[in-house]
């Protein structure tokens, strides 16, 4: 088969896309396997003898492992809470007609647009007053401001696609709305609920500003600890990049799972 | 109202929706609205927590006046706008090129691989993007300078010169968000009905004409979405820039979120910072109303 110039150009273009997407990520992972001397080498080295020392160091460091556990606790709890609160709301938005419904829906969705710094200031003051500063709870709750909208949006969309005959049949059998929600919508809407949960988890896991402002020593999350390495003279680059890799790896896997829904999730359906 | 309701039995009572909605609505009101009101109140007070002895007296619009006459506030808003108009055209252009590459038939495996790898920048934790930026753009051992020297540009003082730092955060943002534009445009391209595209390909061999007359109408909704969503995101942009430059050198990368964070949590002038935050909220509300008006007019 002859490789035409058009095909060649296409292949080169696609290869460039792959390199573009992966290079910074690759450079971080490579650095995580380098010694400090290799990282500081000028010009940078491309071929090196990999070492696992950086990973051994960060897993021995209770600060890093503690931060990852904190991130897990906060992201999981906030996700569970967002689904518990959001899925019923999505059911109501998908299935009932009532006045002000579209305004309510807009209000849910518009929460995603608000800059964290707007809420971080007052929540900081409130958290001091009620003694919630530096607790998991304050992060779990504040993360609902961006997790609830995503759950409500994706689940409403999903629930709307469930055929209503099932519901009518159940109603004839005497099922009330709560049973219909639990026995029909939850199981049939499970894929959408799962996607929205993964998105909530990713957003919570990646969040820095709230975590930076609302935590001190006890509840620092993984991004906060990774950021905190960035002061002082001799930066431990290998450890920093190993920490970065450990932080990014789980979310990347999750993101690949929901990659087909990525655009819908990030745009909240702006492109139908 | 006076007549007896004669609507068909829908299988639920009037208040049933409320039972399903109440938990989520109450939670968002408590977590979202209550702090916003608190911020509004704080914005009318002198509220510096490093000087609690002064108390936190009401001072009317004094904070707002000092914010609106603060040239740093305006310059960080201006810088944010500048950042937006710098990164957005590049993200749109690159995104469109990538989308067209991915839309083109053939190259099955390589194409799937390219599509999958686009997810990686989007998923990378923003703070970690900043860490990577610090590594790549280091003056001495950064790989960016190695690549630039290879093409004969020479060493650039990325993170410690104003232009260099601005360029560095722009490049990292372009890396992270171009895939998003590409995926949106790809979705738009796949909406073009197959027959129409085939017919157009037979009519003309010009790729540009195809893009302009056949594909563009399907790309426009996505383009609007990108512009509005990215403008909201740039107003929020904090994590990556904070990690990479902390707003410096000087105020070269002092975007609006970074500046407000500094006033609030470094100088602890929460009254002024609250006024700034409320102004930012007003800007955001205007943008999100625009967003809703453009996209959701026909929904429901």
Q: Residues A14-33: pLDDT tens digits?
A: 999 999 999 999 999 999 99
How far is it, in rounded angstroms, from Cα B87 to Cα B80? 11
More confident residue, B25 or B152: B25
Mean pLDDT of the region A242-260 = 93
Tell me if A252 and B119 make a contact (CB, 8 A cut-off).
yes
B243 vs A141, A227, A262: nearest CB: A227
Domains of chain B: 71-266+273-295 (1.10.3720.10)
ipTM of the complex: 0.92
Interface contact flag, B122 A240, Cβ < 8 Å: no
Please report the domains of chain A, with CATH numbers, ordered by start residue: 33-41+48-270 (1.10.3720.10)
Set of chain A residues whose Cβ sits within 8 Å of the Cβ of B143? 27, 44
Q: How confident is the model at residue A173 (pLDDT cuts 50, 70, 90)?
A: confident
Contact A114 B136 (CB under 8 A): no
Which pLDDT score, from 0 to 100, does residue B77 have? 96
Among A59-63, A133-137, B98-102, B171-175, the minimum mean pLDDT is found in A59-63
Residue A22 · residue A41 · CB < 8 Å: no
- Among residues A192, A202, A208, A194, the alpha carbon closest in space to that of A250 is found at A202
Test B31 with A223 for CB contact under 8 angstroms: no
Q: Kindly write down the DSSP assignment for every residue of A49-79, as one continuous string.
A: ---SHHHHHHHH-HHHHHHHHHHHHHHHHHH
Nearest to A24 by CA among B298, B135, B242, B261: B135
B7 has a pLDDT exceeding 80: no
Chain B, residues 34-63, CB within 8 A of chain A, namely 34-36, 38-39, 42
- Choose among B131, B149, B229: nearest Cβ to A267: B229
**Does position A232 have pLDDT exceeding 90, yes or no?**
no
Q: Among A25-34, B51-60, B208-217, name the one with the lowest average pLDDT.
A: B51-60
The answer for B 247-266 residues in CB contact with A (under 8 A) is 257, 260-261, 264-265
At residue B274, the pLDDT reads: 95
Question: What is the three-class DSSP state of B269?
Answer: strand
> Residue A270's pLDDT band (boundaries 50, 70, 90)?
low
pLDDT at residue B6 tops 60: no
Task: List CB contacts (< 8 A) between A202 and chain B.
Answer: 123
Distance from CA of A137 to the nearest CA of B (A): 12
Q: What is the pLDDT of residues B77-118, one digit of tens each?
A: 999 999 999 999 999 999 999 999 999 988 889 999 999 999
What percent of chain A shows pLDDT beyond 90?
A: 70
Using pLDDT thresholds of 50, 70 and 90, give the confidence band for residue B12.
confident
Coil, strand, or helix at residue A232? coil
- Min Cα distance B123 → chain A (Å) is 5
Cα A11 to chain centroid, rounded: 32
pLDDT of residue B181: 96
Give phi and psi for B137, each to the nearest 5.
-100, 15
Mutate: best of A22, A37, A105, A118, partner B, most B CBs <10 A: A118
Judging contacts by C-beta atoms under 8 Å, the chain A residues touching residue B175 are 20, 24
Question: Pick from B127, B149, B187: which is nearest to A208 by CB?
Answer: B127
């Amino acid at each position: 088969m002859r490789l035409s110039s058009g095909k060649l150009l296409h292949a080169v273009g696609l290869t460039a896309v792959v390199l573009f997407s992966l290079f910074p990520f690759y450079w971080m992972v490579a650095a995580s396997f380098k010694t400090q001397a290799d990282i500081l080498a000028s010009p940078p080295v491309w071929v090196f003898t990999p070492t696992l020392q950086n990973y051994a160091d960060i897993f021995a460091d209770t600060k890093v492992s503690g931060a990852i556990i904190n991130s897990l606790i906060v992201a999981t709890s906030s996700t569970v809470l967002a689904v518990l609160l959001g899925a019923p709301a999505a059911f109501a938005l998908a299935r009932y007609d009532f006045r002000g419904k579209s305004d309510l829906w807009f209000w849910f969705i518009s929460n995603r647009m608000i800059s964290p710094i707007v809420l971080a200031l007052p929540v900081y003051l409130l958290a001091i007053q009620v003694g919630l500063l530096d607790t998991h709870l304050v992060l779990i709750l504040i993360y609902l401001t961006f997790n609830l909208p995503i759950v409500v949006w994706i689940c409403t969309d999903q629930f709307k696609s469930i055929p209503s005959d099932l519901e009518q049949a159940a109603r004839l059998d005497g099922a009330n709305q709560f049973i219909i929600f639990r026995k029909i919508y939850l199981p049939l809407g499970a894929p959408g609920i799962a996607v929205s949960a993964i998105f909530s988890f990713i957003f919570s896991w990646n969040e820095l500003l709230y975590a930076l402002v609302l935590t001190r020593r006890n509840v620092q999350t993984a991004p906060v600890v990774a950021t905190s390495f960035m002061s002082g003279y001799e930066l431990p680059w290998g450890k920093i990049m190993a920490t970065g890799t450990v932080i990014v790896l789980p979310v990347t896997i999750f993101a690949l799972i929901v990659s087909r829904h990525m655009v819908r999730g990030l745009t909240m359906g702006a492109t139908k | 109202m006076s007549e007896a309701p004669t609507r068909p039995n829908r299988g639920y009572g009037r208040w049933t929706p409320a039972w399903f909605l109440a938990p989520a609505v109450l939670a968002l009101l408590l977590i979202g609205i209550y702090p916003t009101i608190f911020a509004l109140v704080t914005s009318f007070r002198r509220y510096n927590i490093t000087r609690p002895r002064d108390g936190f007296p009401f001072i009317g619009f004094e904070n707002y006046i000092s914010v609106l006459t603060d040239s740093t506030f305006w310059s960080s808003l201006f810088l944010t706008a500048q950042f937006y108009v710098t990164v957005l055209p590049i993200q749109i252009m690159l995104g469109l090129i990538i989308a067209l590459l991915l839309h083109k038939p053939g190259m099955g495996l390589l194409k799937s691989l390219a599509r999958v790898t686009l997810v990686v920048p989007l998923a990378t934790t923003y703070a970690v993007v900043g860490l990577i930026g610090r590594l790549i753009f280091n003056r001495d051992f950064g790989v960016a300078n190695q690549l630039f020297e290879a093409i004969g540009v020479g060493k650039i003082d990325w993170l410690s010169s104003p232009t260099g730092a601005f360029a560095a955060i722009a490049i990292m943002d372009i890396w992270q968000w171009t895939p998003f534009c590409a995926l949106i445009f790809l979705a738009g391209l796949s909406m073009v009905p197959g027959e129409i595209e085939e017919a157009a390909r037979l009519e003309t061999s010009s790729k540009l004409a195809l893009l302009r007359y056949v594909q563009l109408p399907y790309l426009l909704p996505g383009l609007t979405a990108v512009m509005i969503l990215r403008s909201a995101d740039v107003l929020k942009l904090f994590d990556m820039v904070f990690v990479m430059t902390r707003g410096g050198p000087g105020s070269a990368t002092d975007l609006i979120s970074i500046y407000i964070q500094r006033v609030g949590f470094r100088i602890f002038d929460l009254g002024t910072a609250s006024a700034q935050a409320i102004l930012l909220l007003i800007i955001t509300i205007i943008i999100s109303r625009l967003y809703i008006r453009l996209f959701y007019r026909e929904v429901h």
